[in-house]
Amino acid sequence: MVPATFPDAARRKKLVGTVWIVATVNARGAVIAARVENEEIPRPLQDAALTAARQWRFRPFRAGVEGQTADVRLPFRFELPKH
């Protein structure tokens, strides 16, 4: 799984939050579509989460013999270190 990269500009602005992505995974385990579920999170964090989610690969979901397309919900948390 590819982690999301915390955008430098978002880090400097102290933007934080958890972006929830709904990804559609095809029968081969590749993400074929992804969308942000909670759009109130700052856009730079949404973009970083989408970029990472689109690179993920999954074990195909199997129903019987054939692989199936399925939706998965993925959290991407962006936090600043606590000092």
The CATH number linked to 73 is 3.30.2420
Read off the pTM. 0.89
Characterize 48-61 residue by residue with b for buried, 16 or more Cβ atoms within 10 angstroms of its Cβ, and e for exposed. bbbebbeebeeebe
The string of pLDDT tens digits covering residues 27-45 is 999 999 999 999 999 999 9
Residue 27 contacts residue 68 (beta carbons within 8 Å): yes
How high is the pLDDT of residue 8? 96
DSSP-assigned letter for residue 27: T
Q: Does 27 map to a domain? A: yes
Q: Does 1 map to a domain? A: no
Instruction: At 79, list the tokens.
Output: 């936090």
DSSP-assigned letter for residue 16: -
Instruction: At 2, list the tokens.
Output: 């590819």
Q: Does 83 map to a domain? A: no
Q: Does 41 map to a domain? A: yes
Q: Does 47 map to a domain? A: yes
Domain enclosing residue 36, as ranges: 8-78
Q: How many domains does the chain have?
A: 1
Q: Give the separation between CA 4 and CA 72, rounded to whole angstroms.
A: 17
The string of pLDDT tens digits covering residues 37-70 is 999 999 999 999 999 999 999 987 776 667 789 9
How high is the pLDDT of residue 62? 72
Q: What is the mean predicted confidence (pLDDT) over 18-29?
A: 95
